Amino acid sequence: MRKALAVVAVVGVLAAGQVLHIGLFEDLTTTNIWAQIGPDATVWNTYVLGGQYGSLYGSVPPTWTWLPSLADGFPSDFVEEDGKWVATVKIRQGITWTDGTPLTADDVVFTFNVLLTQVGGMRMALALGGNWPAYCPDTLLAVEKVDDYTVKFVYAEEPGLGEWTFGALGCPIVQKAYWEPKFQAALQTEDPAGSLLAVVPVDEPILGGYDFARWEPGAFAVVERNPTYYGTGEILTLYEGGGAEISNPRLNYRFEAYGGAKTGPVLHKLVEGPYVDSIIYPIYLNQDAAVLALQKGEIAMFLNPLGLAKGFEDRLKATPGVQIIANPPWGFRYLAFNMRREPMNYKAFRVAIATLIDREYVANSVFQGIITPMYSVVPESNPFWHNPDIVVYGKGLTHAERVAEAVRILKEAGFSWDAEPKVINPGTRNEAVIGVLPDGQVVPAPKGFKLPDGRYCPELELLAPSAGYDPLRATFALYIEQWCRELAIPIKANLTGFNVIVNKVWAPDGFDFDIYMLGWSLGNPAFPDYLYYFWHSSQDVPDGFNTPGYRNPEFDRLAEAFLKAKSVEEARPLVFRMQELLAEDVPYVVLFDTPIKEAFRADMIEFPYTEVLGGIQFVWPLTTVKALK
């Protein structure tokens, strides 16, 4: 999921030649911004490339305060003009691209004109897929230049938070001079979006603190300090009462928000760097290799959306210089059904599988408390948006009761067996699932699972990460396979590479999977707009995030109203109802997550803060990080 573009600012004199080595477990898949935000929106690409472009506004960690970034102050109020709704945004003067040219309204207008351009009967934003539709909502009609440092946004109706504050205003901005000829060339092809996504940028000007420098596929990637970065030396002060102040001596810029210092004592004072000349990202085959490198001091830390596995935590605790931190997760690991295919298109089938999955058994008996069972698409770690009162199929049932309930659900929907499952000796050491033929004869196991039309169910593939990448999901997938095959439901776990799964789920011609298991980091905790983009029917397109193909008119109406809500108080009950529908309809089965534990060399790297929802990796790259040696 997309991550908030940090506007945290920070400072200091850089020591010559300072380098950080930060480990990764997966390779990049692109260096193209259109692909990175679109179909290649992976966390690994974001780790290396995130923050290069900047946005007009962003939510600032660790408090997630919404503040100007490239913009000068907050936007104007919306006013109605000729039946349309218009607001203006001023751009900070003095910001330059790495080629020395200034950021102006022309760059902002060009970026949005790319997204608004009609190609193949749809906007380019939708054709590019991924996160781009979030930045270019259907109600956005135009973005126009008022003067060199003012832009006007024109909407068909007054926009809500998801269309404006957490939508268009968070859009990454690209340089017009670099991308316009490439965009015009793409428009001359049969597939403009595909052609734009295929561009391999060379010497592309950027705005952020770190500039991409080199990539050796399968080995490492390198970013270098941007000496023209406008934010270097900028001081961001966050106050306990919610106020904020931005001060940039370099640009002679100062801005006070939400009452500033009048709201209480200083909570954080962040001074923007970057403090190191380059970051090298070596790519490791697995966590074991990265842990060994951390122990040896070859890397300062490794980035891992999964958090630190328990066995590795025990090893690292005994390593001098290594510090381990823990933060609540802002994400989840999940199972997704391709509802475009049989039998995943039957709600009863999805509910039955959800009923069979015993999260508590895996959490307590298999992983002995390492994982936390999760049930809602909004994690409990965000209590304002989390609905604790949703249906959870199978929760609290014994294994025998789960089997009996799953069989009941499937039979009522028209599914059948040659030999129907039945539990014998429930709750004892001799508990087993046998098969019962139509004439009542007992056979050793169920067999012949049939669809409602009488055809035998085909073999179904469950794609899941391998044990080398994520032993938790690999193990969970094998248990799901076991529970299903115990009922003669022919699901086979295929434990494979992360990028293999991504390439099948987001295949060029559509979603090429039966069932898969992955995980999400969930973007901006202040506004969970992923609820729209993961499950609204408009996102059921190639490269879209609605991978299950979920289509529910009530959910669509709620999701649309959520984006249009003018306040979080108005949006909250909509989010609660969306969670209820998703829990009932089961396009996903939310499985679990872990407290995000991260290890780093405290004798090599220093952070301005270590307490943040989702962990340090969630807000990477931090331009406030310092190298100690």
Per residue in 527-579, pLDDT (tens digit) is 999 999 999 999 998 888 999 999 999 999 999 999 999 999 999 999 999 99
Residue identified by tokens 């008996």 is 365
Structural domain contains residue 608? no
Closest CA to 384 of 531, 613, 569, 521: 569
Residues 6+ apart with CB under 8 A from 573: none
* Distance (Å, whole) CA 529 – CA 578: 12
Q: Do 411 and 556 fall within a single domain?
A: yes
* Strand-by-strand arrangement of the 596-601 sheet: 210-216, 220-225, 278-282, 19-23, 301-302, 596-601, 322-327
Averaged pLDDT score across all residues of the chain: 93
What is the pTM for the complete model shown? 0.81
pLDDT at 616 over 60: yes
Q: From 441, 416, 285, select the one nearest 352 (Cα to Cα).
A: 416
Strand partners of residue 266: 239
Question: Would the pLDDT of 12 be above 60?
Answer: no
- The answer to whether position 311 is within a domain reads no
Most confident segment among 42-51, 423-432, 582-591: 582-591
Instruction: List the alpha helices (DSSP H) in 67-201.
Output: 105-116, 124-128, 132-135, 176-187, 192-197
Q: Is 76 helix (H, G, I), strand (E, B) or coil?
A: coil
Asked if residue 169 is part of any domain, the answer here is: yes
Domain assignment present for 321: no
Instruction: Please give the Cα distance from 226 to 273 (Å, whole number).
Output: 10
In the beta sheet, which residues pair with residue 80? 85
pLDDT in tens, 186-235: 999 999 999 999 999 999 999 999 999 999 999 999 999 999 999 999 99
Going by C-beta distance under 8 Å and a sequence separation of 6 or more, which residues neighbour residue 196?
Answer: 34, 114, 124, 128, 182, 183, 186
- ∠ at Cα 524 (522, 525), nearest 5°? 85
611 belongs to a structural domain: no
Q: Is 230 exposed, middle or buried (0-12, 13-18, 19+ CB in 10 A)?
A: buried
The domain that holds 577 is classified in CATH as: 3.10.105.10
Handedness of CA 472, 473, 478, 481 (dihedral sign): positive
Q: Is 530 helix (H, G, I), strand (E, B) or coil?
A: helix
Instruction: Give the CA radius of gyration of the chain.
Output: 25
CA geometry: angle 137, 141, 143, nearest 5 deg? 100
Give residue 202's pLDDT: 96
Strand ranges for 381-482 from DSSP E:
416-424, 432-436, 442-443, 447-450, 460-465
Q: How far is it, in rounded angstroms, from Cα 299 to Cα 293?
A: 6
Q: Which residues span the domain enclosing 141?
A: 53-202
pLDDT at 15 over 50: no
> What's residue 4's pLDDT?
30
Q: Are residues 335 and 197 in the same domain?
A: no
Residue 530 lies in a domain: yes
In this structure, are 348 and 491 located in the same domain? Answer: yes
Q: For 151-182, how does the pLDDT look when each residue is reduced to its tens digit (9 = 90+)?
A: 999 999 999 999 999 999 999 999 999 999 99
Q: What is the pLDDT of residues 135-156, one digit of tens each?
A: 999 999 999 999 999 999 999 9
Neighbouring residues of 136: CB distance < 8 A, sequence distance ≥ 6: 112, 115, 116, 123, 125, 168, 171
Q: What is the DSSP string of 16-73?
A: TT-EEEEEBSS------HHHHHTTT--HHHHHHHTTSS--SEEEETTTTEEEESSBSS
pLDDT tens by residue, 229-258:
999 999 999 999 999 999 999 999 999 999
Alpha carbons 542 and 128: distance in angstroms, whole number? 9
pLDDT at 496: 96
**Could you tell me if residue 255 is inside a domain?**
no
pLDDT at 310 exceeding the cut of 80: no
DSSP state of 365: I
Domain boundary among the residues 202, 229, 259 is at 202
8 A C-beta contact, residue 293 and residue 280? no
> Residue 9's pLDDT is what?
30
CA–CA distance, 462 with 495 (Å, rounded to integer): 8
Residues in the chain, overall count: 629
- Can you tell me the distance from the alpha carbon of 578 to that of 143, in angstroms, rounded to the nearest whole number? 31
Express as a percent the part of the chain with pLDDT over 90.
Answer: 86
Q: Quickly state the pLDDT bin for 523 (edges 50, 70, 90).
A: confident
How many domains would you assign to the chain?
A: 2
CA 340 and chain centroid, separation: 23
- Give strand pairing partners of 23: 302
**DSSP letter for each residue of 224-265:** EE-TT-TTTT-EEEEETTS-EEEEETTTTEEEEETTGGGG-S
For tokens 């995030």, what's the residue? 545
How far is C-alpha 418 from the geometric centre of its chain's CA atoms? 43
Report residue 229 CA to chain centroid gap: 26
Contact by Cβ (8 Å): 486, 373: no
Choosing from 202, 236, 266, the residue where a domain stops is 202
Name the pairing type of β-strands 19-23 and 278-282.
Answer: parallel
SS3 5: coil
Tell me the pairing of strands 235-239 and 244-248.
Answer: antiparallel
Q: Which residue has the tokens 């475009």?
A: 340
- Checking if the pLDDT of 370 tops 70, the result is yes
Integer Cα distance of 153 and 169 in angstroms: 10
Tell me, what DSSP letter sits at residue 170?
A: G
Q: What is the CATH number of the domain that holds 148?
A: 3.90.76.10
Greatest extent of the chain over all pairs of C-alpha atoms, in Å: 87
User: Per the domain annotation, does 192 fall within a domain?
Assistant: yes
Identify the pLDDT of residue 403: 97
